[in-house]
């Protein structure tokens, strides 16, 4: 983690993660801090813990309809707690959570953040998508190839 802080989390919360559950089944000593070198920022870990606590409280996994789904439809389909917490995140923050959710094997959070990312770029032209993800310009040949492969990028 960027600041090497120790974040104490009840084991019951973390057992919502299959990876932590597997560690528990392998008799991992949870009295010793577990280094999470794959999680770069404390804010990312905090979002993971927030989501696991949300599930621990008895809330169901969010149901994500297959794309395409509009940003507004997705937002309305989510409980307000999740909508307020995850829709305000930047592309980079969503990607960090996607990687952390993959690391912890939390597929419902991974699917949620991927759906939010997809809804954020849906209907945008190529320039807007590049701006959203902070992508540097393509060469003209690369841009032509991408436009040919992704006709939806021209639809508005």
Q: What is the tens place of the pLDDT at every residue in 44-71?
A: 999 999 999 999 999 999 888 776 678 8
SS3 content of the chain, % helix, strand, coil (to 5): 60, 0, 40
Report the SS3 class of residue 86: helix
**pLDDT for residue 37:** 66
pLDDT by residue for the chain (156 residues), tens only, comes to: 445 667 777 878 888 888 888 877 887 777 777 767 667 688 999 999 999 999 999 999 988 877 667 888 888 889 999 999 999 999 999 999 999 999 999 999 999 999 999 999 988 898 899 889 988 777 888 888 888 888 776 665
**pLDDT for residue 149:** 84
Report domain extents, the chain: 11-122, 124-156
**pLDDT for residue 1:** 45
Say if residue 132 is preceded by a cis peptide, omega within 30 of 0.
no
Q: How many helices (H) and strands (E) does the chain have?
A: 9, 0
Name the token pair of 148: 């040919």
Which residue pairs from 68-72 have beta carbons closer than 8 angstroms and sit at least 24 positions apart in sequence? 68/118, 68/122, 69/115, 69/118, 69/119, 69/122, 70/119, 70/122, 71/119, 71/120, 71/122
- pTM higher than the cut 0.85: no
CA distance 51 to 58: 11
**pLDDT for residue 153:** 60
**pLDDT for residue 85:** 94
> Which residues make Cβ contacts (< 8 Å) with residue 122, sequence separation at least 6?
67, 68, 69, 70, 71
């Amino acid at each position: 983690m960027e600041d090497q802080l120790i974040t104490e989390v009840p084991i019951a919360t973390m057992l919502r993660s299959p990876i932590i559950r597997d560690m528990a089944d392998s008799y991992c000593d949870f009295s010793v801090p577990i280094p999470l070198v794959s999680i770069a920022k404390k804010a990312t870990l905090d979002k993971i813990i927030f989501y696991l606590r949300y599930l621990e409280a008895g809330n169901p996994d969010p149901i994500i309809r297959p794309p395409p789904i509009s940003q507004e439809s997705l937002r309305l389909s989510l409980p307000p707690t999740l909508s307020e917490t995850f829709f305000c995140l930047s592309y980079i923050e969503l990607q960090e959570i996607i990687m952390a959710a993959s690391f912890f094997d939390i597929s419902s959070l991974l699917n949620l953040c991927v759906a939010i990312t997809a809804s954020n770029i849906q209907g945008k032209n190529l320039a807007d998508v590049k701006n959203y993800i902070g992508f540097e310009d393509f060469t003209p040949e690369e841009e032509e190839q991408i436009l040919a492969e992704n006709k939806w990028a021209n639809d508005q």
